[in-house]
Amino acid sequence: MRPTPTLADVAAEAQVHVGTASRALNAATRDMVKAETAHRVREAAYRLGYSPNVIASGFRAQRTASIGVVLPDLTNPLFPPIVRGIEDVLTARGYVTLLGNTDNDEQRELKLIESLRTRRVDGFIVATAKRIHPILEDIADAGTPIVLINRTTDREDISSVLSDDSAGIQTAVDHLVQLGHRRIVHLAGPDNLSTGRNRARAFEEAMRRHKLKVGEADSVTCDGYSMEAGNAAAKRIFKARPEATAIVAANDLIALGALQVLREMQLSCPEDISIVGYNDMPFVDQLTPPLTTIRVPQYAAGVQAAEVLLDRLANSHAITKSLLLPIELIIRGTTAACNSRGPFKSLESNQLSTLVQ
């Protein structure tokens, strides 16, 4: 059996003094060490499998060395890479991750969070935030460290790690405009979520920047971030805007719902309509056609959320952090040059009525 690595082993691996290694691994003293050195020490600790004795220090500080991670939908492929990033950081620091799934149910979320609070978790990483979310605000007001990931509330004093929604949607619109599309519509996320509101606003701003028509009928709000919601919203928007040649979807599952509608109508993507998703969830590159989308660094988001939470645990007076992660346009097979006046333009009114039933 291999001996348990010690702080001295980490120091030797990183070629630094033991005191330097200790400061580099402590979020409260990390600023006392050069960033390059701190990174080298953390890499050495990871390679050796070293974990500080958080449990022992937890007894002294009345902590449990556990973190509650709350997700809205465990079946959504967006979240496993995020959770992996969270766990990799927390495990290396000796923390246990307690994972909970709410299924987008408020009562289930309430019970889950209260259960985690009863178990005296040291902090929360939460992906279920609504723009108005009293229970999360209560956690923050009680002084429990909390970091919101992917979504945020309207309050600005709760730390968060988010994708740059504005840059992402504007990049999607820019891509479609470069392909010659001018009749672009948006399948928006729920307005009570920051992602839905922010991406819808970004769509309107991008369209106006290109001096393109944008009105109420050019954006339909989905009931949720799901294929079913995307399917229903796509049918509504195709009826309202039969001349549309391109769709910007608020997430990949919504985009997949729109693709279902095209198949139902025996239309082709991207020949008839181009579609851009958002998130670059695992497996969307395996679709036929593979989905053009905005990539969000999901694993990195989990890593950053865990790091922000650990900083707060080490320093209760740490400032609120709101991190915006960079996005990237991933061009695949669902976008192409515009060569259509709108595949639904020539449909009779009764055919459109059948489409939206």
Query: For each of the chain's 357 residues, which pLDDT tens digit applies?
Result: 567 788 888 889 999 988 888 888 876 567 778 888 888 988 888 888 887 655 455 444 567 889 999 999 989 999 999 999 999 999 988 899 999 999 999 999 999 999 999 889 999 999 999 999 999 999 999 899 999 999 999 998 999 999 999 999 999 999 999 999 999 999 999 999 999 999 999 999 999 999 998 988 899 999 999 999 999 999 999 999 999 999 999 999 999 999 999 999 999 999 999 999 999 999 999 999 999 999 999 999 999 999 999 999 988 888 899 999 999 999 999 999 998 766 765 555 555 555 555
Same domain, 261 and 220: yes
pTM of the entire predicted model: 0.80
Q: What is the pLDDT at residue 315?
A: 86
- The residues, any chain, with a CB within 8 Å of residue 182's CB and separated by 6 or more, are 212, 245, 338
- Residue 37, domain CATH: 1.10.260
Same domain, 118 and 224: no
Same domain, 230 and 345: yes
Same domain, 265 and 336: yes
Same domain, 193 and 225: yes
Same domain, 80 and 29: no
Bridge partners of residue 322, in order along the sequence: 160
Which amino acid, residue 239? K
- Residue 191: name the closest of 177, 203, 182, 183 by CA: 203
Same domain, 207 and 341: yes
Domain count, the chain: 3
Q: Which of 31, 50, 69 is the last residue of a domain?
A: 50
- The residues, any chain, with a CB within 8 Å of residue 244's CB and separated by 6 or more, are 183, 184, 185, 237, 238, 273, 342, 344
- Residue 231, domain CATH: 3.40.50.2300
Q: What is the pLDDT at residue 55?
A: 47
Same domain, 92 and 42: no
Six-digit token pair at 269? 């993507």
Same domain, 134 and 192: no
Same domain, 133 and 194: no
Segments forming the whole domain that contains residue 201 = 165-291+332-355
149 to each of 22, 82, 125, 158, 194, how far by Cα in Å?
A: 29, 9, 7, 11, 11
Q: What is the pLDDT at residue 121?
A: 95
CA 53 to chain centre: 31
- Between the two ends of the chain, the Cα-to-Cα distance in Å is 65
Same domain, 207 and 159: no
Same domain, 30 and 67: no
